[in-house]
Amino acid sequence: MDNKKRFLGAVTELRVLVVLLGFLTMALIDVRGATYYTAATGDIAGSIWSTSTNGTPGSLPTLVDGDIIIIDDNITITTNFKAWQNVLLSIDLNSTINISGEWWLSTNSVVNFLSSSAKVIVSGGGNSDKIKFGNSNTWSGNDGNLTGPGTLDKNFDPDTSPLPITLIFFKVAEQQEDVRLTWATASELNFDKFFVERSLDGNEFSEIGSMKGAGTSASRRDYAFNDKSPIVGRSYYRLKAVDYDGFTEYFGVYVCNYVGPKSIVIYPNPSQGEPINLILNFHPEEQSQIEIFNSIGVKLDQIFFSELTNDVKLPSGLKAGSYLIRFTSGSYSQVVRFSVF
């Protein structure tokens, strides 16, 4: 009987030990944390997460300290996202995060940029806080877009950020016959080319030229571009930088007030049925007008416009022949002849 009691007691102790080991194992798993992957593109707060690389996208559960986030798909942060603010995380980034709101992380979390495909870009208000570790702003749109490889944490310094290019300056100077743009980089990483863009209003930009980059360089590189057909009056310039992976960032915007003679050009002239454009090198005033005459001076059409543009499309369907255009804008007036074949 005593032996039976001793045996039953040993079985009970073994069961207790198994239960304790189970709790200990669960505790170890919690300390180590779980791993979550992006299984789709979309908003960071959306149903784009999975516990495996090829799992069905769903919502992310409540995170705990030690969890690992692996971002292999392009995501966006469209609002102020604070769900990860109080959780110690390791975030492995191998894609693009586009931030238009703010992203708050805990003080000791870290974002690992695993490759040149790992990027953080900004949209919306570029000069506002974008990424915070704790209550301290670490990165804003004014610091420039980020690209890997590298690490982003509470010790991030914009002066040593992992940018594809580090711009020293960008200057715009009005000259007698053109506008000269100059800029220099301190370093370039897998960098393809610059595009020079110009705008009438500071919002809508168009490309007017490009310059090939150095690829990868750790020394200073200087660049210059002359806008030989500048806009008379106020215009805006910026640089568009594109690396080999297609990653794009912008520098500027800079205002220019060019003083020079006004002129208009008709293109193409002669026209062989293509759309005809009237190109201005200045800002037209409100209620500017275009009058079209045939070869014997009969007015065929009159167009009024007040849109801020330097590229005006003429009416289509003109028959073959010779025409005159009289363009009037304020005190400025010019007559130009063109032909249609």
- The tens digit of pLDDT for each residue in 277-317 reads 999 999 888 889 999 999 999 999 998 887 778 888 888 88
* Closest to 28 measured CA to CA, from 69, 68, 66, 70: 66
Please write down the HEC assignment for all residues of 254-272: EEEEECCCCCEEEECCCEC
Distance (Å, whole) CA 126 – CA 251 = 11
Same domain, 78 and 139: yes
pTM here is 0.51
Distance (Å, whole) CA 277 – CA 167 = 37
Name the residue range of residue 248's domain.
165-258
Domain CATH for 201? 2.60.40.10
Same domain, 237 and 272: no
* In a domain? residue 2: no
Distance (Å, whole) CA 24 – CA 30 = 10
Domain CATH for 291? 2.60.40.1930
Distance (Å, whole) CA 202 – CA 176 = 23
3-state secondary structure of 141: helix
CA 99 to the chain's CA centroid: 10
Same domain, 54 and 140: yes
Mean pLDDT check: name the lowest of 51-65, 143-157, 162-176, 270-284: 143-157
- DSSP secondary structure, 5-62, as one string: HHHHHHHHHHHHHHHHHHHHHHHHHHHH--EEEE-S-EETTSS-EESSTTSPPB----
Q: 228, 258, 288 — which closes off a domain?
A: 258
